[in-house]
Amino acid sequence: MTGLFTFGETMGLVAADGIGPLPYARSFSFGIGGAESNVAVGVARLGGEATWLGRVGPDATGALIAERLGAAGVRTLAITDDSFTGLMVRHRRSAQFAQVDYHRAGSAGSRLSPADVPSAELSASGVVHVTGITPALSETARAAVFQSIETARAAGVPVSVDVNYRSKLWSRFDAAPVLRDLVSRADVVFASPEEAELFVDPQDVPAALAKLGPAEVIVKDGARGCTALIDGERHALPVLPVTVIDPVGAGDAFVAGYLADRLAGAPPADRLATAIAAGAFAVTVPGDCEGAPTRAELAALKGDDVRR
């Protein structure tokens, strides 16, 4: 029981090159992206075992997802569905602001169901990681998340939840009770202050989240670093100073760093330090998961800027 198991929707990613309004973009890159698979790639790059499960369409994008994740070292359980693989289109209106549009209603990934997630996979994992994105996709996807959590808990497997609220998928009113329920069933929770404030008192976010049940609460606070309440002990770490190229994917890299070290048996302070370093590395390269760092690359953040 040493590996990460996660599931959700991974999509094709059409990203405008450069910075500026989308109508003026003249070139685009095509890749893949999805919060859960980003975390799986991050854990694998840091030397951990990682499995991702999800539905993909019978199309070139679905094939690319399976190929890219496999090449990244992720054990990939891609279920072929007769619907299309979802897409997201991203452009950077300015250096500080990115916009993402989804094309995923009725997609293969949204048709995930409880029957798709084998109990044996959940019970044999070191940690099961889910996000607040998947419950927003469909009723069957939501059922898959909650049933999987209960199966993992019954087997004594820790459950990790990244709140990951997406306003383009559901309203705050619809999301809040579901996300609160999700957090109450978790052992490890990741959230930004804004996400947590959807359903807990904003005065002391780590403590408020911990009151719902999780023993490990990590609050990701962007350029302000992170705060955490882990087994009753408080922690706070600043960010590492780096040049930001693309902020997308930093949160997933952070989660991957923490979970990779947790799976390796590292103490909380080390897990948080690795999470901060992984998130910092992620913003120095473009893409959702393509630049997920290795252990050696994280070490280089504090060393020479030329590797010979």
pLDDT digits (tens, 9 = 90+) for 197-255: 999 999 999 999 999 999 999 999 988 889 999 999 999 999 887 777 666 778 999 99
Measure Cα distances from 164 to 68, 108, 179, 219 in Å.
23, 20, 9, 12
Sign (positive/negative) of CA torsion 187, 131, 129, 42? negative
**pLDDT at residue 1 greater than cutoff 60:** no
Question: CA 226 from chain center: how many Å?
Answer: 16
- Measured CA to CA, the distance from residue 63 to residue 56 in angstroms comes to 8
Sign (positive/negative) of CA torsion 28, 34, 37, 42? positive
pLDDT digits (tens, 9 = 90+) for 56-100: 999 999 999 999 999 999 999 999 999 999 999 988 887 677 888
pLDDT digits (tens, 9 = 90+) for 251-262: 999 999 999 999
Other CB atoms within 10 A of residue 159 CB: 23
Q: What DSSP string runs through 124-146? A: T-SEEEEESSGGGT-HHHHHHHH
Closest C-alpha among 256, 189, 254 to residue 216: 189
Question: CA 113 from chain center: how many Å?
Answer: 20
Tokens of 171: 């309203």
pLDDT digits (tens, 9 = 90+) for 109-150: 999 999 999 999 999 999 999 999 999 999 999 999 999 999
Considering the domain 4-300 in this protein, what is its CATH number? Answer: 3.40.1190.20
pLDDT, residue 306, reads 39
Strands 11-19 and 28-33 turn out to be antiparallel
The residues annotated as belonging to the active site are 252
Domain boundaries, the chain: 4-300
In what order do the strands lie in the sheet containing 11-19? Answer: 28-33, 11-19, 87-92, 98-103
- Measured CA to CA, the distance from residue 280 to residue 259 in angstroms comes to 16
Indicate the pTM of the whole model: 0.94
pLDDT category of residue 308 using cuts at 50, 70 and 90: very low
pLDDT, residue 302, reads 59
Strands 216-220 and 226-230 turn out to be antiparallel
